């Protein structure tokens, strides 16, 4: 087993970890100020911000662009960069180069890699370069081909055991964290109890060492669908729409801007300008 354990289990730490996604400096600045433990630059940016039908469309260049923005907004935070499918699909060598780009160009602290072909060899290669890795098991969006694929994983003893073994394999490969997505809470609890590294859950119940949500889900901004595991702490989408409607109404009715929101020219200077225009001194 490769040793790359930088983070303590919640029981040893004394409190659970808080992780949220961010894709820009404005959001990451808010998360850092709020004391979030991990900021995840997820490839979910593809669906949430970029308008892609799935996460598999996201390129490594796009991930670097967003990760650099997040780092600028949160210079002191532990930032996790999600290795996109296009950044790992050619094998461990490509995965390592992508991880190094995250570290060197975006100054991230951890890279996340989903379970899939060559993920263990890629993890081992990345860990040898002193880059921390978060393994991702359960629902792995990069493997989802259409909307129907976003569903609970590990519903039988056979499939649950498969996910359990994947989690243990990531630990043996040197991962420092695990992300458990959309699996039964009993399975998540069993994994949490049998690995030495922290588990972060999303749709995996309350027994993980921490939790993560997509920020836009948390604040009710992304309203195309709402997963069962999301708890909305605000309904920002409705408030934003209300604000835009109000702004459009005021502009159309010439109620915005008012003189109170406008700049003024000094009366003496304006009189000079008015006389110049009147005398035809405009050329």
Do 10 and 16 meet the contact criterion of CB atoms below 8 Å apart? yes
Q: Which of 124, 181, 261, 271 is catalytic?
A: 181
Give the whole-angstrom CA distance, residue 166 versus residue 187: 12
The mean-pLDDT minimum among 2-16, 47-61, 119-133, 199-213 falls in 2-16
Tokens (6 digits) for 35 = 């004391």
The mean-pLDDT minimum among 27-31, 111-115, 117-121, 222-226 falls in 222-226
Mean pLDDT of 184-197: 97
pLDDT digits (tens, 9 = 90+) for 119-173: 999 999 999 999 999 999 999 999 987 666 688 999 999 999 999 999 999 999 9
Q: How far is CA 26 from the centre of its chain?
A: 13
State yes or no: pLDDT of 264 exceeds 70: yes
The mean-pLDDT minimum among 139-143, 204-208, 279-283 falls in 279-283
Terminal-residue alpha carbon distance, the chain = 80
pLDDT, position 128: 96
pLDDT, position 3: 53
Q: What is the pTM of this model?
A: 0.92
Domains of the chain: 10-235 (3.20.20.60), 239-278 (no CATH)
- CB count, 10 Å around CB of 55? 24
Contacts (Cβ under 8 Å, ≥6 apart) of 50 = 57, 58, 62
Using only C-alpha atoms, what is the Rg of the chain? 24
Question: Is 181 considered catalytic here?
Answer: yes
Give the whole-angstrom CA distance, residue 242 versus residue 262: 24
């Amino acid at each position: 087993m490769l040793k790359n354990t930088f983070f303590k289990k919640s029981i040893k730490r004394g409190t659970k970890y808080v992780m949220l996604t961010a894709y820009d400096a404005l959001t990451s600045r808010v998360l850092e100020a709020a004391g979030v433990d991990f900021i995840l630059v997820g490839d979910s940016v593809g669906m949430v911000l970029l308008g892609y039908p799935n996460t598999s469309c996201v390129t490594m260049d796009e991930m670097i662009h967003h990760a650099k923005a997040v780092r600028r907004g949160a210079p002191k935070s532990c930032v996790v960069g999600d290795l996109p499918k296009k950044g790992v699909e050619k094998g461990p060598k490509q995965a390592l180069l992508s991880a190094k780009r995250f570290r060197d160009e975006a100054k991230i602290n951890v890279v996340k890699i989903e379970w899939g072909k060559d993920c263990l060899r890629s993890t081992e290669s990345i860990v040898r370069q002193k880059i921390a890795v978060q393994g991702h098991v359960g629902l792995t969006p990069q493997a989802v081909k259409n909307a129907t694929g976003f569903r609970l994983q590990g519903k039988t003893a056979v499939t649950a055991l498969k996910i359990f073994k994947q989690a243990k394999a990531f630990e043996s490969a040197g991962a420092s964290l695990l992300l458990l997505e959309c699996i039964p809470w009993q399975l998540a609890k069993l994994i949490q109890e049998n690995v030495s590294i922290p588990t972060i859950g999303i749709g995996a119940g309350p027994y993980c060492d921490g939790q993560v949500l997509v920020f836009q889900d948390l604040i009710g901004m992304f309203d195309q669908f709402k997963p069962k595991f999301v708890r909305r702490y605000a309904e920002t989408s409705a408030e934003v729409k209300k604000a835009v409607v109000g702004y459009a109404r005021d502009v159309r009715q010439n109620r915005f801007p008012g003189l109170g929101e406008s700049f003024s020219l000094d009366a003496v200077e304006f009189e000079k300008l008015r006389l110049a225009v009147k005398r035809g001194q405009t050329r």
